[in-house]
Amino acid sequence: MKKVSTLWVLLSVASAAFITAVSTGGAGENVSPVYGVSLPEGYRNWRVITVAHEAGQNNDIRAILGNDIAYEAFRNRMLPFPDGSVIVRLAYEFKSSPENDAVFPAPQSFVAGAPTNVQISVKDSKRYSESDGWGYGQFENGIANPSVPLVNSCYTCHQKLDRSKDFVFSHYSP
């Protein structure tokens, strides 16, 4: 009898630890700090919402994609975004293209160079209630950036946007 109850205790402790690890994204999983956001499967095939270019230090060119829930919300100007919306922003070096320029009368072609990073915003109003419903993550070469200050900067900046826009800057480009 004593043996059985010891085994039972061990099993309960083990399963509680497993559940905690799964729900919070335990050590070793490829998730962002603070929010536990992972790279969604198949995101590279999501539909394009819009594109953007940042000059200055970033000097990159970006594609913003959304999963089906986010895409429909963008298209129909549905705000706030429904739970389950996921937006990814893929950034690349902004490079001039001598190869393309060779066929133009003057240098004018700029293209995507090497990928720099992927940023992700995930809407889950319950899980992320302390950051107005959004969880954030940044990935380089498919690996979650472990910097807590970096990931905290996402909400610090996005929250500066008007609440009526649900903290999302981008708009759908037809």
Residues that bind ligand HEC (CB under 6 A): 52, 54, 62, 64, 87, 89, 119-121, 136-138, 150-151, 153-154, 157-158, 168-170
Amino acid at residue number 132: D
Minimum distance from CB of 100 to ligand HEC (Å)? 24
First to last CA, the chain: 69
Instruction: Tell me whether residue 29 or residue 54 sits nearer to ligand HEC (CB atom).
Output: 54
Minimum distance from CB of 160 to ligand HEC (Å)? 7
What does the alpha-carbon distance between residue 34 and residue 150 come to, in Å, rounded to a whole number? 10
* Token pair for 31: 């998730």
Q: Count CB atoms within 10 A of the CB of residue 155.
A: 20
What does the alpha-carbon distance between residue 174 and residue 171 come to, in Å, rounded to a whole number? 10
Minimum distance from CB of 94 to ligand HEC (Å)? 12
Instruction: Tell me whether residue 5 or residue 164 sits nearer to ligand HEC (CB atom).
Output: 164
